[in-house]
């Protein structure tokens, strides 16, 4: 298959749905990837499945799982004198107690949207008399790219470039979900983008310790449906393994070069996740060797308010798969993409945003 249309072939989709429908036992699957979330809603895949098979979304959106306290810390960094805060666009509207990056920019702070870590480094070069701080939010997918710009900044002996790392790790979050035991997950659709970096091995604890099968999936309708079929086939045979459906992009060992760069610069840290709480060794902090590029150190002595999440916002429960967006009392009534109350409505990969835009297709 060389062209995207082949992954959306109606006859093949119908054939897979027929095979999926042959399994009559109940099965609840979870995907943990924002792109999978969007694809499931955009193509109406959830609505195509038989009633006994359900796919829900987990903590696969990096913007959504960023704790409100970390948003406050980012706002504090944006308020430093003679500084530029650089961020991906989907962080701009995430609300916190003292506002948002968008509001902070409207008040006069120099906050700029970039499309890659290299853009952030370029702006730092062009503004040598200002401190450029890159707000690095993401999972293992983006971490190697951020690590590479830190290495390049060090080679160029730049002293006006910092990174505020809010990177998080997906497999430990999956363990946390299983340990919480709130929902009876029968299988995981593992993230394709993350897996191009880390490969299949980091998920193996799931079948080995919990007896739950996993399939690393691509993002087109046939990819997702084939992955669901593979999970059902394993469940039917009483097997639990990690299989790769997305073989055109994912290797068993992942990307060794990207992993080498990532672990050269970063180390595991504890982190607060929205919806999941405080999880040990689930984030990437900058190593002491590269402390000159760590914006975390700039926070010392700053007055940062302690905040709590809006109790009416059910983003945390949505992230854990406990609630659907429609079960939140704010959804569509108060919380919309134009006026988001929680980050799940902000990011294009957020479950609430996808449900808002494509929800009718999932019925």
Cβ 137 vs Cβ 66: under 8 Å: yes
Q: Can you give the pLDDT at residue 97?
A: 83
Residue 5, pLDDT above cutoff 80: no
Of 9-18, 132-141, 144-153, the least confident: 9-18
pLDDT at position 361: 46
pLDDT for residue 303: 86
pLDDT over 80 (residue 232): yes
* % of the chain beyond a pLDDT of 70: 98
| pLDDT value at residue 135 | 98
Return the CATH number of the domain spanning residue range 27-62+170-244: 3.40.50.11750
Q: Hey, CA dihedral for 250, 252, 256, 259, is it positive or negative? A: positive
How sure is the predictor about 363, in pLDDT bands with cuts at 50, 70 and 90? very low
Cβ atoms of 337 and 353 within 8 Å: the answer is yes
> Cα–Cα distance between 100 and 102 in angstroms, integer?
5
Residue 81 has pLDDT above 70, yes or no: yes
Rounded to whole angstroms, the Cα distance separating 269 from 271 reads 6
Task: Please report, for the chain, the start and end positions of each structural domain, with discontinuous segments joined by +.
Answer: 27-62+170-244
Which 3 state secondary structure label does DSSP give 54? strand
| pLDDT per position as a tens digit, 235-279 | 999 999 999 999 999 999 999 999 999 999 999 999 999 999 999
- Could you read off the pLDDT of 288-346 as tens digits, one per residue? 999 999 999 999 988 888 888 888 999 999 999 999 999 999 999 999 998 999 999 99
Query: What pLDDT does 287 receive?
Result: 98
Phi, psi torsion values for 66, nearest 5 degrees: -70, 125
């Amino acid at each position: 298959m060389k062209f995207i249309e082949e992954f959306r072939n109606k006859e093949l989709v119908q054939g897979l749905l027929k095979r999926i429908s042959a399994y009559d036992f109940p099965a609840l699957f979870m995907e943990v990837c924002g792109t999978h979330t969007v694809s499931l809603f955009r193509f109406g895949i959830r609505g195509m499945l038989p009633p006994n098979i359900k796919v829900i979304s987990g903590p696969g959106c990096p913007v959504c799982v960023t704790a409100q306290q970390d948003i406050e810390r980012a706002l504090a960094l944006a308020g430093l004198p003679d500084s530029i805060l650089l961020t991906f666009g989907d962080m701009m509207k995430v609300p916190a107690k003292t506002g948002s990056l968008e509001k902070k920019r409207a008040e006069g702070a120099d906050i700029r949207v970039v499309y890659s870590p290299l853009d952030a480094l370029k702006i730092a070069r062009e503004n040598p008399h200002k401190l450029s701080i890159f707000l690095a939010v993401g999972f293992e997918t983006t971490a190697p790219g951020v690590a590479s710009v830190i290495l390049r900044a060090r080679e160029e002996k730049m002293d006006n470039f910092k990174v505020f790392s809010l990177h998080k790790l997906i497999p430990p979050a999956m363990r946390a979900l299983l340990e919480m035991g709130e929902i009876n997950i029968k299988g995981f659709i593992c993230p394709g983008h993350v897996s191009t970096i880390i490969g299949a091995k980091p998920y193996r604890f799931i079948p080995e310790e919990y007896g739950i099968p996993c399939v690393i999936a691509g993002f087109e309708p046939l990819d997702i449906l084939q992955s669901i079929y593979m999970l059902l086939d394993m469940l039917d045979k009483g097997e639990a393994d990690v299989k790769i459906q997305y073989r055109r992009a994912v290797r068993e060992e992942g990307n060794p070069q990207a992993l080498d760069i990532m672990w050269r610069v970063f180390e595991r840290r504890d982190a607060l996740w929205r919806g999941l709480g405080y999880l040990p060794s689930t984030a990437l902090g900058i190593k002491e060797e590269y402390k000159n590029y760590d914006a975390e150190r700039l926070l010392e002595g700053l007055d940062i308010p302690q905040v709590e999440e809006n109790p009416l916002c059910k983003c945390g429960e949505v992230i854990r798969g406990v609630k659907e967006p429609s079960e939140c009392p704010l959804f569509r009534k108060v919380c919309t993409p134009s006026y988001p109350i929680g980050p799940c409505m902000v990011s294009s990969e957020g479950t609430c945003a996808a449900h808002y835009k494509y929800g009718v297709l999932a019925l």
